[in-house]
Structure 1
Amino acid sequence: MSGPQCCSNPPTLNPNAGAGHVEQLGGLSTYVSGSPNSKLAILLISDVFGYEAPKLRKLADKVAAAGFFVVVPDFFNGDPFVPDDANRPVQVWLKDHGTDKGFEEAKPVIEAVKSKGVSAVGAAGFCWGGMVSVKLASSTDLHAAVLLHPGWITEDQINDVKVPIAILGAENDDISPPEQLKQFGEKLSAKSEFDSFVKIFPGVAHGWTVRYNAEDESAVKSAEEAHLDMLNWFTKYVK
């Protein structure tokens, strides 16, 4: 995720945002929302700005209101990317926070959720989190996955997917270009053993689902449409 798109429109982080609370889960500080008695859980994996982004937590609350137990771990351990830090550009930051590490750290979180009595888990990832989610989708840990404007994912990773997966992309995205996502969709649709879905949203750019301008009616509408697509996917397959 180099280039300006991954790091544009940084959110103003707020540790107190959201209707849920933070607790330790699987060794990570985790924002938790929804009924802990739900048998269905959704793991939301943030972009480089981390789990204190208010719009991400608001989305977690929205998913929780649909009946899911939602967990948003702090995979960066209090060290989200800071665009203003000239000494630590995103390429340097990523050396400390690689997606392989995120994948490994997600497993104990999923196990911890299952130990609470959860019987089905879905995961949605945004940018950095999309790269973690596609790795998780190659395992049997998940029932379904959604990638929203993912970072760089590869054809090999798409070939390894084993669960129903939806990919929501932006028309203006040089990190996950629409042409590439459509090719991934063709590969996925050739797999008859699970469902897949690729949708490109017109007029939006990378990051639009969690870094939209709340004053821009069109931007809000596109983000909410993507949120609904994500929620519908989970309602269909995480059960």
Structure 2
Amino acid sequence: MTCEACNTIPPVIAVGYEPKGKWEELGGLKTYITGDEAIATKGIVDVYDIFGIATQTLQGADRLAAALGAVVLVPDFFKGDKAEGVWFTDPSPENDAKKSAFMAKAMAFEPFLPALEGVVQAAKGRFQKIGSWGGLGLCWGGKVLALSSGPGTLFSVTGQVHPGKLAAEDAEKITIPHIVLASNGEDPAVVAEYKRILEGEGKPGVVDTYPTMFHGWMGARANLENEDNLKEWKRGYNQVAEFFAKHL
């Protein structure tokens, strides 16, 4: 059975995972690259959350690459910077200042859109067998992908999981198949608006909620040693793989 036929992620390693990919520069950004470049005809740009490069995120990229027979890229948009968990768990004047400075930069989403476009354009030159590109965003990255899915988009399909700064006006501008996997940490009213806009007769979108999961369950904050988180992490990545297999 080919990967295209199954579209199911390989078994997940809960502890001690060793990423399978390599690092190169693409579009001026250090980028994690995973997947079989010799055979891949599909590509995905995986945009991480505010906690940056994390083993859980890289395992997700590896698993999508295997399930879809695709090349998956994880660019380091923050260029080595990232949010630190201690800023949220141990508030102090120093930590609050660092958090505010980082978040001010990260939440100005527009400057990251040309950087994403630069990665895709560089990837098109680097991986010439690949005929279509998708984009998946985690939390912060979901907003970047939503803003990059409108008229003139470089992507064939996009998605966002436990999306940050979810806004119905972004959904109104999306012109391609788009999947949203929400957690219990997003505003249910906005998730419902997304569902109204993206789903329905003649619309290819999917909006689903994982009601027992916290904001971040598929990204850097995933606790794969927790049985419920592991189960829903796997379910989420399999749902993304199935949707991308259909539209990419």
Query: TM-score band (shorter)?
Result: 0.7 to 0.9
Secondary structure in 2 matching 1:50: coil
Q: Does 1:113 align with 2:128?
A: no
CA distance in 1, matches of 2:97, 2:55: 24
Secondary structure in 1 matching 2:212: strand
Unpaired stretches in structure 1, ≥5 consecutive residues: 1-13
1:92 match: 101
Q: Does 1:21 align with 2:16?
A: no
Query: What is the one-letter code of the residue matched to 1:27?
Result: G
Deviations 1:186-237 (CA, angstroms, capped at 9, x unpaired): 0122683x40011111211100112222221111101111110111111111
Secondary structure in 2 matching 1:44: strand
CA distance in 2, matches of 1:17, 1:28: 22
CA distance in 1, matches of 2:18, 2:26: 19
TM-superposed CA distance for 1:75, in Å, is 0.3
1:11 match: none
CA pair 184-17 structure 1, distance change in 2 beyond 3 A: same
| Equivalent in 44, 65, 68 of residue 70 of structure 2 | 68
CA distance in 1, matches of 2:181, 2:24: 30
Alignment size in residue pairs: 219
CA distance in 1, matches of 2:100, 2:243: 32
User: Equivalent residues in 2 for 1:160-239 (5 A)?
Assistant: 160-170=173-183, 172-173=184-185, 176-189=186-199, 192=202, 194-210=203-219, 211-238=221-248
Unpaired stretches in structure 2, ≥5 consecutive residues: 1-15, 88-94
Note the aligned Cα RMSD (angstroms).
1.9
Secondary structure in 1 matching 2:211: strand
TM-superposed CA distance for 1:83, in Å, is 3.4
The structure, 1 or 2, with the larger RCO (C-alpha pairs under 8 Å, 6+ apart) is 2
Identity among equivalent positions (%) equals 27
Q: Looking at CA atoms only, which structure, 1 or 2, has the larger radius of gyration? A: 2
2:85 match: 83
2:156 match: 143
| Equivalent in 106, 110, 122 of residue 134 of structure 2 | 122
TM-superposed CA distance for 1:36, in Å, is 2.0
Which of structure 1's runs of 4+ aligned residues deviate more than 2 A?
87-92, 94-98, 189-192
Greater strand fraction, Structure 1 or Structure 2: 1
CA distance in 2, matches of 1:29, 1:199: 32
Deviations 1:100-154 (CA, angstroms, capped at 9, x unpaired): 1221200011111111212100111011100001011114200001110110122
Q: Is the 8 Å Cα contact of residues 177 and 247 (structure 2) preserved in structure 1?
A: yes
